[in-house]
Structure 1
Amino acid sequence: MTDLPPADFRERITSSFQRQAAMRLIGAQLTRTEHGTVEIELPFDEKLTQQHGFLHAGVISAALDTACTYAAYTIIDPAASLLTIEFKVNLMSPGRGEWFLFRGEVTKPGSNIIVADGRAYSVGDGPAKLIASMTGTMMVMRGREDVAG
C-alpha cells in the first residue's frame, strides 16, 4: 500500500473496538493495529464451541470479519465509516487450541469498496495452525450521521 494512513487510525480503531459488544461478549482483544493490518486474539472458551468442542464457525467468521473490517479502517478517511457487504469463509481445520489469532489485511484499497483477506490461526502446543481464511468486501460510507466508526 502506498497511501499514507490517517494519523489517528489507531485511536479511532481502539475506540471503535471497545464499543463492539459482540467482541467483548466472546472475549476478543485487539492486539495489533498497523496500516492495512489488524490482529485480534481470542482465548479458548468452551462457551464458544459447537457440539464437537471446536471453536464455532460463527465465532471464527465474526472475528475474521472484524479483523478485516478494522484493517480497512486503517486506510480510510477519519470521517468515513465501513460496512461489510460480502464475505466468504473457508474453514480448513477444526478450531482447537489454547487461543486463536485472527489477522485481517487489506488486499485492494479503494475509495468506495475495499477488499480484505483474513486468516485465523489456532495456537497451542507447537506452531500456529491455519484453521480458516476469509475474503471480505467493505463499503465505505460517508455523510451518514446514523452510522459512525
Structure 2
Amino acid sequence: MNGKDTGDFRERVRQSFARQGAMGMLGAELTRVEQAIVEIELPFDIKLTQQHGFLHAGVISAVLDAACGYAAYTVIEPDASILTIEFKVNLMSPGRGERFLFRGEITKPGSTIIVADGRAYAIGDGPAKLIASMTGTMMVIRGREDVTG
C-alpha cells in the first residue's frame, strides 16, 4: 500500500493483540489481518452492556480503536509502533446482536500520521447491521523503548 517493508505484519499484529489485556478481558478475537485491514469479533456478553442491555458505547469504541490501530500497524515497518492520538465515533444503532464484527481500514497511510476508518456491525438473525463508525488518527512511534510492538 505504501511501499514500506512491513515484514511479517500478520504475526506482529497477532503477538501484539495477544498482549492486550483489555481485548482479552472483553473476549475479543482477532479474526482477519490483511495489509491495511483488520477485523476483530466479539461475542455478546451481558457483562459488556449498558443499562438497556445494548453493547456499551465504551466497549464499541475500544474495539473499533483496536481494529483501526492494528490496521495501521500492518502498514508500518517492523521496528515501529502505533499510538492512537484522536478518534471520533458515531453510534448509529443500538448494539444488539449475538456477535459483533469490528473492521478497521486504512484511509490514508503516512510516515508519521495514519488515518483509519472503522465500522462496527451487529450480527444476529438476518443481515449484519451497521451500529457504529469511527475515524481515527494514529501516530507512528519510532525509537522509544517504552512503546514497542
TM superposition score category, shorter chain reference: over 0.9
Tell me the residue number matched to 1:89: 89
Q: Secondary structure at the match of 1:143?
A: coil
Q: Unpaired segments of 5 or more residues in structure 2? A: none
Letter in 1 for 2:88: K
Tell me the residue number matched to 2:69: 69
Q: Secondary structure at the match of 2:69?
A: helix
Query: How many Å apart are 1:126 and its aligned residue?
Result: 0.1
- What whole-Å deviation, never above 9, does each CA across 1:8-46 have from its counterpart, x for those lacking one? 100000000000000000000000000000000000000
- What whole-Å deviation, never above 9, does each CA across 1:48-107 have from its counterpart, x for those lacking one? 000000000000000000000000000001100110000000000000000000000000
Counterparts of 1:76 and 1:108, CA distance in 2: 12
The alignment status of 1:144 with 2:141, answered yes or no, reads: no
> What's the TM-score once normalised by structure 1's chain length?
0.98
Tell me the residue number matched to 1:47: 47
Tell me if structure 2 keeps the 8 A contact 1:89–1:132: yes
Tell me the residue number matched to 2:132: 132
> What's the TM-score once normalised by structure 2's chain length?
0.98
Query: How many Å apart are 1:6 and its aligned residue?
Result: 1.5
Tell me the residue number matched to 2:56: 56
Tell me if structure 1 keeps the 8 A contact 2:2–2:75: no
Alignment of 1:99-110 (within 5 A): 99-110=99-110
Q: Unpaired segments of 5 or more residues in structure 1? A: none
Counterparts of 2:121 and 2:20, CA distance in 1: 22
Tell me if structure 1 keeps the 8 A contact 2:7–2:77: no
Query: How many Å apart are 1:7 and its aligned residue?
Result: 2.7
Calculate the aligned-residue CA RMSD, in Å.
0.9
The alignment status of 1:28 with 2:28, answered yes or no, reads: yes
Tell me the residue number matched to 2:14: 14
Give aligned-pair identity as a percent: 77
Count of aligned residue pairs for this structure pair: 149
Query: How many Å apart are 1:2 and its aligned residue?
Result: 4.9
